[in-house]
């Protein structure tokens, strides 16, 4: 451990500015999470331009705080109105809403908060222990190995991001194509600009993420509003139950009684979070399913705090580990990790294993922020969760136009270039079409970020091997092994249809749980 | 068969046409075949991206999920295609107006129109929100040092 860098990190984090942005991040995150239809990715995409104006730790505090807050916040509306704030809180509905109907909404929300924070903290500790070791190994990789590692990541993302392998890979292909627009990363020669000089610098990351994550979602919700098919409105709203002074709280004994379910959530969430492509929704449903099978006497699914603990520990335990591929290899494993990686890039720091030696103080600051974020999440969640429950009742008719305006401001404010706004709108429409036909967005954004690195490593490998493609691609045993693994992932996913099976986890619970 | 156009196979078919056209366009561009100093063809990476998409689109024509219809297309109507375009057009007009009217004057009509279009009632509430929200957003970003378009009001701030 570099003690000096650690002290530098402490000095960077424990400033009023960083702590202020961390609090703001968690505060906004819990609120965003509590509003159905707004996810952590949408929130981070909208906040990314704001992070430019902050220093590196302020930006990390804002984004990581927002991420942590949003993952917990999703459970608030799931418990209050049976309308999960985000898909990863859907498993919480089964037990959470039943408890609310029994007048135990307060108990349900506190269970969700405590299990979320416990799982998040413990999985963060795993990240702090594991990421530097993996990064040390990754430093031994040459361009060939890095190239194949990126191919493995793209393959995993494409195959596991949805139930349809071909659609996931199409999304990755679109990201790769968009990532090549503009000057090529090695010789700086313009290409793929469709004759437009304003595309010479390529597509900027901010309009891309705002368009794909925020604007597309708002178009989708706007359309839903115009068609008046919102299921949420049919659900009986009972926020009053949560505020009643008679509503039961959670005792320490009850919290401790959930340790097995939280343990399952932490194990599953940490593993799933570190794998590219799976994410919090799968972790949440998997740990819920395992806990339900393992402890039939606890009556999970019938209004049990143990079900909430398993689901919420599962989704929150993915928050830290999702950063492992980003920090250890420089390859984001999820859309949110890609956005945090983007924030680092915009601050002039390229996520890679070399970050541990070049910017050790930033890595330590990130670790401290991960842990501190949980404390703030606990405090803010404890104080305001019951007020946030009311946010779920803010009508979409108000939210959608406001977020559309925020998206325009975000795209414009990043560089002050009007072209970015029009690109954002075009990409918003592309994202909307992708949602409609069931093509996942995450592989697009991640491959877009990886594309220049992929090309750089391929060309570097070719240079080292004097233009010999065989040597550049298969010149090392590890590279060959990674190439074989990528092919194996594709074949297995196609034969066993892994994506479909993972998607079915949620659907099966849906049939039995409600 | 009447619903074939919504199926994965049909989506694969549309994608093959679009990607094929894009592929042909890129292929006939002079830069695509330009060889760089390191021996790398400039158009190789875009072609890999398109190739990956083409392979997957062709796979969608024949894979086991080809007869399925994506959930969002189950009850899709023609208006689902043009309503988002109208929304985007409205936002584009709002942004264009911002450049000469400024954010504070251009955002309220947009917000009011969209809130009412989406069904917010009473109208009085929509009017109040449409005035207050842009003012708060403008103040917040000004505090952060982010300069939003000021348009004709530039002299006042």
Contact A116, A312 (CB under 8 A): yes
Q: Do the chains contact at B37 and A435, CB–CB below 8 Å?
A: no
Which sign, positive or negative, has the C-alpha torsion B97, B100, B101, B104? Answer: positive
| pLDDT recorded at residue A137 | 84
Cα separation, A461 vs A467, whole angstroms: 8
Backbone angles phi, psi at A249, to 5 degrees: -90, -160
Residues of chain B in contact with residue A500, where contact means CB-CB under 8 angstroms, are 65
Percentage of chain B with pLDDT > 70?
Answer: 97
Residue A510 pLDDT grade (very low, low, confident, very high; cuts 50, 70, 90): low
Say whether pLDDT at A507 is over 60.
Answer: no
Q: Which residues pair with A183 in a beta bridge?
A: A190
Tokens of A449: 């970020």
Rounded to whole angstroms, the maximal C-alpha distance in chain B is 66
Q: Do the chains contact at B48 and A422, CB–CB below 8 Å?
A: no
Say whether pLDDT at A147 is over 50.
Answer: yes
In A, residues 28-87, which contact B (CB 8 Å cutoff)?
49-50, 53
Domain ranges of chain A: 3-513
Cα separation, A165 vs A170, whole angstroms: 9
Cα separation, A121 vs A306, whole angstroms: 19
Q: Residues A345-368: pLDDT tens digits? A: 888 888 888 888 888 999 999 999
Length of chain B as a residue count: 157
Using the CB atoms, write b or e for A439-457: b if 16+ within 10 Å.
bbbbbbbbbbbbbbbbbbb
Contact A342, A51 (CB under 8 A): no
Residue A232 pLDDT grade (very low, low, confident, very high; cuts 50, 70, 90): very low
Query: Of A359-373, A480-494, B58-72, where does mean pLDDT reach its minimum?
Result: A480-494
More confident residue, A140 or B145: A140
Does residue B35 sit in helix, strand or coil? strand
Residue A503 pLDDT grade (very low, low, confident, very high; cuts 50, 70, 90): low
DSSP code of residue A88: G
Give kind and range of the element (H or E) at residue A168.
helix A165-179
Q: Tell me, rounded to whole angstroms, the distance of Cα B153 from its chain centroid.
A: 30
A217: CB partners within 8 A, 6+ apart? A37, A38, A39, A42, A431, A435
| pLDDT recorded at residue B11 | 95
Whether the CB of A470 is below 8 Å from some CB of chain B: the reply is: no
Say whether pLDDT at A139 is over 90.
Answer: no
In A, residues 162-191, which contact B (CB 8 Å cutoff)?
163-167, 169-170, 172-180, 184, 186-187, 189-191
Residue A389 pLDDT grade (very low, low, confident, very high; cuts 50, 70, 90): confident
Contact A441, A171 (CB under 8 A): yes
Tokens of A89: 């809180």
Cα separation, A229 vs A231, whole angstroms: 6
Say whether pLDDT at B60 is over 50.
Answer: yes
Residue A245 pLDDT grade (very low, low, confident, very high; cuts 50, 70, 90): low
Say whether pLDDT at A198 is over 50.
Answer: yes
CA atoms lying within 13 Å on the CB side of residue A262: 20
Query: Of A24-33, A308-317, A499-508, where does mean pLDDT reach its minimum?
Result: A499-508
The residue to which tokens 């104080």 are assigned:
A383
Q: Do the chains contact at A398 and B115, CB–CB below 8 Å?
A: yes
Say whether pLDDT at A514 is over 60.
Answer: no
Residue A424 sits at the vertex; the CA angle it makes with A181 and A348, to the nearest 5 degrees, is 65
Q: Do the chains contact at B49 and A174, CB–CB below 8 Å?
A: yes
Say whether pLDDT at A501 is over 80.
Answer: no
Closest residue in B to A428 (Cα) is B88
Percentage of chain A with pLDDT > 90?
Answer: 37
Q: What is the ipTM of this complex?
A: 0.94
Say whether pLDDT at A511 is over 60.
Answer: no
Say whether pLDDT at A8 is over 70.
Answer: yes
A413 closest CB neighbour out of B72, B85, B146: B146
More confident residue, B146 or A436: A436
Residues of chain B in contact with residue A49, where contact means CB-CB under 8 angstroms, are 146
| pLDDT recorded at residue A83 | 74
Q: Tell me, rounded to whole angstroms, the distance of Cα A459 from its chain centroid.
A: 31
Cα separation, A377 vs A446, whole angstroms: 27
Q: Residues A79-108: pLDDT tens digits? A: 887 777 777 888 898 898 888 888 888 899
Q: For residue B74, how many other CB atoms are within 10 A of its CB?
A: 9
More confident residue, B46 or A509: B46
- Compute the average pLDDT of residues A174-189: 91
Whether the CB of B57 is below 8 Å from some CB of chain A: the reply is: yes
| pLDDT recorded at residue A345 | 85
Average pLDDT, chain A: 86
Backbone angles phi, psi at A190, to 5 degrees: -70, 140
Query: Of A188-197, A237-246, A472-481, B40-49, where does mean pLDDT reach its minimum?
Result: A237-246
Say whether pLDDT at A394 is over 60.
Answer: yes
Q: Which residues pair with B41 in a beta bridge?
A: B35
Q: Residues B71-113: pLDDT tens digits? A: 888 888 888 889 999 999 999 999 999 988 999 999 999 999 9
Task: Out of A279-293, A320-334, A340-354, A431-445, give the one with best mean pLDDT.
Answer: A431-445
Tell me the CA distances in angstroms from A106 to A90, A117, A281, A377, A455, one per residue in order. 18, 17, 24, 17, 52
Residues of chain A in contact with residue B59, where contact means CB-CB under 8 angstroms, are 165-166
Which sign, positive or negative, has the C-alpha torsion A483, A486, A490, A492? Answer: positive
Q: Do the chains contact at A191 and B94, CB–CB below 8 Å?
A: no
Q: For residue A103, how many other CB atoms are within 10 A of its CB?
A: 15
Cα separation, B39 vs A463, whole angstroms: 9
Q: Do the chains contact at A164 and B26, CB–CB below 8 Å?
A: no
| pLDDT recorded at residue A475 | 85
Which residue from A276, A282, A280, A268 is spatially nearest to A334, judged by alpha carbons? Answer: A276
Does residue A191 sit in helix, strand or coil? strand
Tell me the CA distances in angstroms from A172 to A164, A399, A444, B15, B145, one per residue in order. 13, 31, 5, 14, 36
Residue A438 pLDDT grade (very low, low, confident, very high; cuts 50, 70, 90): very high
B88 closest CB neighbour out of A175, A412, A429: A429
Percentage of chain A with pLDDT > 70?
Answer: 91
| pLDDT recorded at residue A235 | 43
Q: For residue A239, how many other CB atoms are within 10 A of its CB?
A: 19
DSSP code of residue A140: T
Interface test with B, best of A50, A413, A420, A437 (most B CBs within 10 A): A437
């Amino acid at each position: 451990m570099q003690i000096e860098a650690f002290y530098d990190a402490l000095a960077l984090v424990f400033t009023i500015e960083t702590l202020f942005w961390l609090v703001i991040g968690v505060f906004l995150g819990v609120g965003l999470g509590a509003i159905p239809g707004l996810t952590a990715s949408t929130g981070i995409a909208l906040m990314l331009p704001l992070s430019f104006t902050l220093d590196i730790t302020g930006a990390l505090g804002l984004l990581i705080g927002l991420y942590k807050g949003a993952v917990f916040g999703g459970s608030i509306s799931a418990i209050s109105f049976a309308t999960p704030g985000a898909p990863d809180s859907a498993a919480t509905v089964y037990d959470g809403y039943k408890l609310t109907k029994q007048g135990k909404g307060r108990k349900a929300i506190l269970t969700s908060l405590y299990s979320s924070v416990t799982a998040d903290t413990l999985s963060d500790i795993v990240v702090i222990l594991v990421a530097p070791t993996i990064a040390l190994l990754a430093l031994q990789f040459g361009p060939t190995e890095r190239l194949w590692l990126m191919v493995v990541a793209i393959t995993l993302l494409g195959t596991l991001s949805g139930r349809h392998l071909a659609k996931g890979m199409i999304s990755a292909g679109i990201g790769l194509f968009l990532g090549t627009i503009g000057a090529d990363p090695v010789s700086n020669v313009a290409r793929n600009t469709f004759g437009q000089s304003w595309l010479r610098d390529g597509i900027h990351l901010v309009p891309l993420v705002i368009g794909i994550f925020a604007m597309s979602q708002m178009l989708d919700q706007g359309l839903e509003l115009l068609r008046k098919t919102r299921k949420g409105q049919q659900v009986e709203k009972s926020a009053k139950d949560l505020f009643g002074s008679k509503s039961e709280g959670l005792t320490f004994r009850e919290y401790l009684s959930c340790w097995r379910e939280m343990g399952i959530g932490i194990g599953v969430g940490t593993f799933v979070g570190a794998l590219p492509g799976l994410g919090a929704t799968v972790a949440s449903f998997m740990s819920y399913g395992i806990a339900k099978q393992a402890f039939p006497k606890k009556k999970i699914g019938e209004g049990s705090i143990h079900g909430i603990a398993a689901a919420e520990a599962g989704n929150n335990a993915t928050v830290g580990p999702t950063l492992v591929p980003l920090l250890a290899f420089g390859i984001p494993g999820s859309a949110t990790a890609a956005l945090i990686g983007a924030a680092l890039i915009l601050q002039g720091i390229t996520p890679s294993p070399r970050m541990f030696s070049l910017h050790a103080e930033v890595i330590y600051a990130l670790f401290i922020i991960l842990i501190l974020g949980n404390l703030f999440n606990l405090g803010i969640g404890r104080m305001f969760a019951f007020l946030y429950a009311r946010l779920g009742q803010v009508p979409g008719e108000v939210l959608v136009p406001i977020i559309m305006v925020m998206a325009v401001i975000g795209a414009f404010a990043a560089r002050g270039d009007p072209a970015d706004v029009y690109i954002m709108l075009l990409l918003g429409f592309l994202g909307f079409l992708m949602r409609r036909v069931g093509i996942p967005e995450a592989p697009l954004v991640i491959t877009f970020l990886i594309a220049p690195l992929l090309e750089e490593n391929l060309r570097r490998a070719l240079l080292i091997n004097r233009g010999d493609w065989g040597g550049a691609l298969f010149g090392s045993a590890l590279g060959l092994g990674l190439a074989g693994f990528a092919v194996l992932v594709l074949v297995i996913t196609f034969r066993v249809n892994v994506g479909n099976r993972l998607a079915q986890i949620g659907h099966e619970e849906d049939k039995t749980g409600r | 068969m009447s619903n074939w156009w919504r199926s994965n196979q049909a989506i694969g078919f549309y994608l093959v046409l679009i990607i094929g056209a894009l592929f042909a366009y890129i292929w006939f561009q002079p830069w695509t075949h330009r060889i760089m100093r390191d021996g790398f063809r400039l158009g190789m990476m875009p072609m890999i991206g398109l190739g990956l998409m083409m392979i997957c689109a062709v796979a969608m024509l024949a894979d086991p999920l080809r007869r399925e219809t994506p959930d969002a297309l189950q009850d899709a109507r023609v208006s689902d295609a043009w309503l988002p375009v109208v929304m985007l057009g409205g936002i584009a007009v709002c942004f264009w107006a911002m450049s000469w009217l400024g954010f504070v004057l251009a955002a309220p009509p947009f917000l009011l129109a969209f809130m009412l279009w989406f069904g917010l009632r009473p109208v009085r509430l929509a009017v109040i929100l449409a005035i207050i929200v842009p003012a708060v957003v403008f103040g917040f970003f000004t505090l952060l040092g982010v300069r939003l378009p000021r348009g004709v009001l530039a002299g006042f701030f």
